[in-house]
């Protein structure tokens, strides 16, 4: 293995949007694990995915307890089964890392912070 040396230093203050992305990616990774447990037949309490009466699964993406608005007026992803829910989580994870949800994350985090002001 060849090492690549660079003249880079760690920034003094981390970027807020990058921290939000990392927090959401950690939660998505946790949800992927929960969906895998559900596929194996185990019961999971904190899973985001839920099933309706027709057997379709719905997957909201949450930041804290707030669901993100994925598209205008749409807060969940419909999946025919749990395998598709796992694939959808992996796709959303990539989108979060690309910064596709930065505006939604900024809005939700502002809403959450506003509740703590006096």
Contact in structure between 20 and 109 (CB atoms under 8 Å)? yes
Residue 112 pLDDT: 85
Please give the average per-residue pLDDT across 84-90, as a whole number: 96
Cβ count near 38 (within 10 Å): 18
pLDDT digits (tens, 9 = 90+) for 41-57: 998 999 999 999 999 99
25: CB partners within 8 A, 6+ apart: 93, 96, 97
**Share in percent of the chain as helix, strand, coil (round to 5):** 45, 15, 40
What is the share, in percent, of the chain residues with pLDDT greater than 70? Answer: 99
């Amino acid at each position: 293995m060849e090492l690549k040396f660079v003249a880079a230093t760690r920034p003094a203050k981390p970027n807020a949007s990058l921290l939000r992305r990392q927090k959401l990616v950690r939660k998505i990774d946790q949800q992927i694990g929960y969906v895998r447990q559900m596929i194996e037949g185990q019961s999971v309490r904190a899973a985001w995915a839920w099933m309706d009466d027709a057997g379709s699964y719905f997957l909201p993406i949450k930041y804290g307890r707030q669901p993100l608005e994925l598209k205008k007026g749409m807060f969940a992803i419909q999946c025919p089964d749990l395998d598709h829910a796992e694939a959808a989580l992996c796709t959303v994870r990539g989108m979060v890392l690309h910064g596709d949800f930065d505006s939604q994350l900024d809005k939700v985090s502002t809403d959450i912070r506003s509740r703590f002001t006096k």
